[in-house]
């Protein structure tokens, strides 16, 4: 593993699993150079969620509703999206807001 030393366990787990994507806010510790040899990519959570939406938007929206209602204090989808914006997934939240006309 040639990526950042403190994150090598993450890449090792991805290789062992095997998986195709590492979802992380810390993209700088997972350069293309160190990932290409394992055919793995690193994606920001915002980008990953947008990709999921484009694969199956109906399922993603359903899960957002489910997550909101499963909380101890239930939240609307708008509140769930506001939380995602705080978590640096603003583009995804905006995409869902546009698609649901919120």
Instruction: Quote the pLDDT of residue 84.
Output: 96
What does the alpha-carbon distance between residue 2 and residue 69 come to, in Å, rounded to a whole number? Answer: 42
User: Is there a single domain that holds both residue 29 and residue 67?
Assistant: no
Same-domain check for residues 81 and 51: yes
pLDDT of amino acid 1: 85
pLDDT of residue 24: 96
Positive/negative CA dihedral, 11, 12, 13, 14: positive
Q: Which two tokens stand for residue 46?
A: 């915002």
Cis peptide upstream of residue 18 (ω within 30 degrees of 0): yes
The total number of structural domains in the chain stands at: 2
Mean pLDDT by 10 residues, the chain (102 residues): 91 94 95 94 98 98 96 96 96 97 92
Q: Verify that 25 and 68 share a domain, yes or no.
A: no
Position 68 scores a pLDDT of 96
Q: Assess whether 14 and 32 both reside in one domain.
A: yes
pLDDT at 4 (0 to 100): 87
**pTM, entire model:** 0.89
List the domain range (segments joined by +) for residue 83: 47-100
């Amino acid at each position: 593993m040639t990526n950042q030393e403190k994150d090598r366990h993450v890449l090792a787990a991805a290789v062992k699993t095997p998986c195709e994507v590492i979802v992380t806010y810390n993209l700088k510790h997972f350069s293309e150079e160190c990932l290409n040899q394992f055919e793995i990519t690193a994606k920001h959570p915002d980008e990953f969620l947008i990709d999921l939406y484009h694969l199956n938007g109906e399922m993603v929206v359903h899960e957002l509703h489910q997550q909101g209602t499963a909380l101890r204090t239930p939240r609307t989808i708008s509140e769930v999206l506001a939380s995602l914006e705080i978590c640096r997934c603003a583009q995804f939240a905006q995409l869902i807001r546009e698609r649901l006309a919120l």
